Amino acid sequence: MAEVAVSTVVTKLTELLLEQTTSTISHISTVRDQVESLKNQLSWMQCFLKDADAKQQSNERVRMWVSDIRNVTFEAEEIIETHIYNSTIQTHFHNKIFTPFHLYKLGSRIERICKKIKEVSDRREMYGVVIKNPGSNSNPDDRDGSSSNERLRHWRQPSPYYAEEEYVVEVKEDFGSIFTQLVSLDSTRHVVSLVGMGGLGKTTLAKKLYNDSRIANHFEIKAWVYVSEEYRRKDVLQGILRGVDGVAREDMDRMPEEELVNKLHNALAEKRYLVVLDDIWGMEVWDGLKYAFPRRKLGSKILLTTRILEVALHADGNSDPYQLRPLNHDESYALLRSKAFPGASVIPSEFENLAKEIVVKCEGLPLAVVVVGGLLSRKLKSSGEWARELQNIRGGLLEDQEKITRILALSYNDLPPPLKSCFLYLGLFPKGMNIQTKKLIRLWVAEGFLPQEGGETAEDVAQRYLNELIGRCMIQVGTVSSMGRVKTIRIHDLLRELSVTKGKEEYFGDMAGSSSTSQLTKSRRHSLHSCHERYDFLKHIADYSRSLLFFNREYNADIDKKVWIHLSFMQEKKLNFIYTEFKLLRVLELDGVRLVSLPSTIGDLIQLRYLGLRKTNLEGKLPLSIRNLLNLQTLDLRYCCFLKKIPNVIWKLVNLRHLLLYTPFDSPDSGHLRLDTLTNLQSLPYIEAGNWISDGGLANMTNLRQLGINGLSGQMVNSVLSTIQGLRNLHSLSLSLQSEEDEFPIFMQLSQCTQLQKLSLNGKIKKLPDPHEFPPNLLKLTLHNSHLQKESIAKLERLPKLKMLVLGKKAYNWAELSFSAEGFSQLHVLRLTLLKELEEWKVEEKAMPMLEYMVIDRCEKLRKIPEGLKDITSLKKLKITGMPVDFEHRLRTKDLLEFKNIPIIESTTDILSIVLLGDRNLHLRKGSIFKSGIPLYSL
């Protein structure tokens, strides 16, 4: 799979040639022609590699040829990047004396590399590699580099509203049988188990059950936690507690494991609960968790998914594990149709026979059917294309134990080279991890995977890549925001294994295991998933590494402050060699690693594009040497709760695209920063107001998409509102006033912000703008401390595209609130939070006709929900937080029965005295017991 390596280096060389006028590498122009020649030769070589990659599985000579290409490509990468590093750190004096020598040496090395490439290329025919004519149009799905780029430009954009990926055709007997067990009040059956091989649909079936409204209303509390092979008891206990009790992560970090067990036991003791333990691999896992699950409340259940029957039998001897069967032919055929021909009721007649053969080869495994279906949906709708893929499937089934992996590999082989890199990158993340899409996109951009096309930003291209992988069913959607954006993604275990295996073969990426004796390859990227006593073993890969990602969490609150400080200092010392020996790093992710400070040698990592310091507990201030990181694109300082000072050198980082400073506690001083040079900045979600606003810093941020400013005075807010009219790319704006005496101006001049979709205002609004004065494409509005007048609601409900409204603390201080007929016509989500004076809320007929999710949070004087809310048939979920007992009692015993469409009621209030009585069937049909768990929307 040398194609990925070549593609990555070609992209880097292109990037180098485009940037060669910058001060760091300006003198490379002397050897520009040789660099250009190297890039062209590698690009030409890339045209033949896809065909070679397909052959190397069965041809040892081709495998050797591909390996030679990869090795020479890596050598080329090292020569260029080492020269850039050395030339950057030289002093002005050394530049004058030694630059001619270094350039001569660089030119000689590039010349040797080009000769090696030619030698390798000349041998390709003797190795039997079929060479396609790059200029030929004989194949409508031409696979050369040009064709790949053409396909990239014509990718369809999937809908932003993603549903949960369905890997199972709904088999009624499966669903019905498990459903009956879950709602059973039988005291002897406590654990319900789903057993089957990977990819058979255990997790998907569990999710269907978990999210069914009848299940949601049957249980008082729900929680879901992913266990996996990399089981950590404390993490699992914390995950369940977050679901059932809403305990903050910081509070749980300070608790020993046995205290977590007791706290979880107490939280569940008097409630009917459902806890899903997804993907358990060992009997000892259940033994370590079972004491946290009391059996006092009749009907409480544990839903367990596992690949191992013995684990299920061990968990509950009185329960019969439900073993999922493979799909039969008709079910597989229906699933293939839904993926290959979305929306079609039948498969066209010319494809029927081929489809039936493909179904047979997938052997009833839903994941294999889905992935192949996703692959075929991208193909030209011709029987020839389908026949070719069927032949690939046949050719892949050489050994029984590798059947499924080889089928899944077909979709990987079909990816264009940049997309292959993006897919392989997912193998660096821990198993079962919910991966933040924003973070993933920033990492992809920093790695240099993304070809620039037209006027698109690299982030836009990355978003298309993400959509394409979702569309091909190679990654799963995790959480979706209220605005329809995919916030997190996951990768199925089998596909992750494919990613890890291919990554190692390609020397693309590798993982350090749980001990320092892990055998690491000469991969370009390395990830660490656990804490190590020593990190010296990493020194052996310093010359090869371009990325180093830490995913371990070194929380240990069972020790006193002094010991913690000492251990943090020791941890810091263990990692200091990274800043001196990993000289060619592009990505350094230290999220969650305990550090007190960074050494000045961090400034020597001049190739860094991404520096992640989130939750590192840095104290004091950052070293001045960060000014040397001239290539830095992302600086993540979120949750650095003890960081007090950021040196005023950020303005030197002219390539910065994402400056992430937010912390919920004591924010570092940021208002003093000079920012006027940061013309490439896209994300600045939190920063203190300061002179940088009036000194031209804000006006120069013409690429800004997300902006949040805290501590604005009345005078400053006028300057900000005036300036943002020129920020044509701004999508999200958050402004917070300094004091209660300050107020937003009457004329906010927001109608010019045509791209603005999210607006958050924290502070008094003397007069709310008229609807036509708001941003014309506003989708989400959040108001805090606004002290709105009554007539303001009439203005808000006429905003034509508003999908989400948050009225927060002191946003509305009146006893009565009215939503008029046909108001809020597009609203999907409504949150009323800490409206302390609100007593009565009226909703007229046909108001909020599209409302799906609603939150009422600590509106303590509100007596009841409005009658008009009961007529909204689109309402799916109603969340109640911190409301009085009589409010919830009325809601669940009287109001709920009057809803035209019964919503799921979610509550975090611990009210043990309220119990719905009556016929069990009526209870399942119309009743609702409060529950807490995974929300429909993540806001």
**Element containing residue 419 per DSSP (H, E):** helix 417-425
- Classify strands 732-737 and 758-762 as parallel, antiparallel or unpaired: parallel
Structure token digits, residue 802: 């508003």
User: pLDDT tens across 446-485, in order?
Assistant: 998 887 767 789 999 999 999 888 877 788 888 888 778 8
- Give the angle 478-481-486 at the CA atoms, nearest 5°: 45
Structure token digits, residue 371: 């992935």
In this prediction, residue 765 carries a pLDDT of 94
The helix/strand/coil state of 511 is: strand
Task: Decide: 358 and 336 in contact? Cβ < 8 Å.
Answer: yes
Tell me what the mean pLDDT of segment 555-582 comes to. Answer: 58
User: pLDDT tens across 594-635, in order?
Assistant: 788 899 999 999 989 999 999 888 888 899 999 999 999 999
Average model confidence (pLDDT) across the chain: 79
Task: Decide: 389 and 375 in contact? Cβ < 8 Å.
Answer: yes
Nearest to 593 by CA among 531, 537, 512: 531
Q: φ and ψ at 829, to 5 degrees?
A: -135, 135
**More confident site: 735 or 906:** 735
Tell me what the mean pLDDT of segment 906-925 comes to. Answer: 44
In this prediction, residue 683 carries a pLDDT of 97
* Beta bridge partner(s), residue 190: none
Q: Does 589 score more than 90 pLDDT?
A: yes
In this prediction, residue 597 carries a pLDDT of 86
Tell me what the mean pLDDT of segment 844-868 comes to. Answer: 94
In this prediction, residue 164 carries a pLDDT of 44
Task: Decide: 777 and 755 in contact? Cβ < 8 Å.
Answer: yes
Query: How deeply is 533 buried, as exposed, middle or buried, from its count of CB atoms within 10 A (0-12, 13-18, 19+)?
Result: exposed
Of these ranges, 56-60, 101-105, 818-822, the one predicted with the greatest mean pLDDT is: 818-822
**More confident site: 362 or 737:** 737
In this prediction, residue 9 carries a pLDDT of 74
Q: Does 271 score more than 90 pLDDT?
A: no
Q: Does 925 score more than 70 pLDDT?
A: no
Which of 166-175, 335-344, 413-422, 508-517 shows the lowest per-residue confidence on average (mean pLDDT)? 166-175
**More confident site: 763 or 290:** 763
Structure token digits, residue 317: 């001897």
Tell me what the mean pLDDT of segment 798-803 comes to. Answer: 96
Tell me what the mean pLDDT of segment 344-351 comes to. Answer: 83
Rg (C-alpha) for the chain, rounded Å, is: 29
Residues of the chain above pLDDT 90, percent: 31
What does the alpha-carbon distance between residue 657 and residue 384 come to, in Å, rounded to a whole number? 45
The runs of H, that is alpha helices, within 290-382 are 309-315, 329-340, 352-362, 366-377
Tell me what the mean pLDDT of segment 580-590 comes to. Answer: 91
In this prediction, residue 456 carries a pLDDT of 85
Of these ranges, 33-42, 127-136, 453-462, 529-538, the one predicted with the greatest mean pLDDT is: 453-462
**More confident site: 94 or 370:** 370
Q: Does 1 score more than 60 pLDDT?
A: no
User: pLDDT tens across 399-427, in order?
Assistant: 433 566 776 777 788 788 889 999 999 99
What does the alpha-carbon distance between residue 636 and residue 633 come to, in Å, rounded to a whole number? 10
Nearest to 276 by CA among 365, 188, 212, 364: 212
* Beta bridge partner(s), residue 643: 620
**More confident site: 938 or 737:** 737
In this prediction, residue 213 carries a pLDDT of 82
Tokens 């993304």 map to which residue?
450
What single-letter amino acid sits at 482? S
Q: φ and ψ at 249, to 5 degrees?
A: -60, -40
Task: Decide: 657 and 634 in contact? Cβ < 8 Å.
Answer: yes
Which of 120-129, 185-194, 201-210 shows the lowest per-residue confidence on average (mean pLDDT)? 120-129
Q: Does 859 score more than 90 pLDDT?
A: yes
What is the DSSP-derived secondary structure letter of residue 417?
H
Residues of the chain above pLDDT 70, percent: 77
Q: Does 30 score more than 80 pLDDT?
A: no
Nearest to 124 by CA among 63, 76, 73: 63
**More confident site: 252 or 276:** 276
**More confident site: 456 or 127:** 456
The helix/strand/coil state of 274 is: strand
Q: Give 909's pLDDT tier (boundaries 50, 70, 90).
A: low
User: pLDDT tens across 129-168, in order?
Assistant: 554 443 333 343 343 334 433 433 333 333 333 444 444 4
User: SS3 for 130-196, per residue?
Assistant: CCCCCCCCCCCCCCCHHHHHHHHHCCCCCCCCCCCCCCCCCCHHHHHHHHHHHHCCCCCCCEEEEEC
Measuring CA to CA, how many Å separate 697 from each of 370, 646, 702, 703, 721?
49, 17, 10, 12, 14
Task: Decide: 665 and 642 in contact? Cβ < 8 Å.
Answer: no
User: pLDDT tens across 641-671, in order?
Assistant: 888 889 999 999 999 999 999 776 666 778 8
**More confident site: 252 or 872:** 872
Tell me what the mean pLDDT of segment 798-819 comes to. Answer: 96
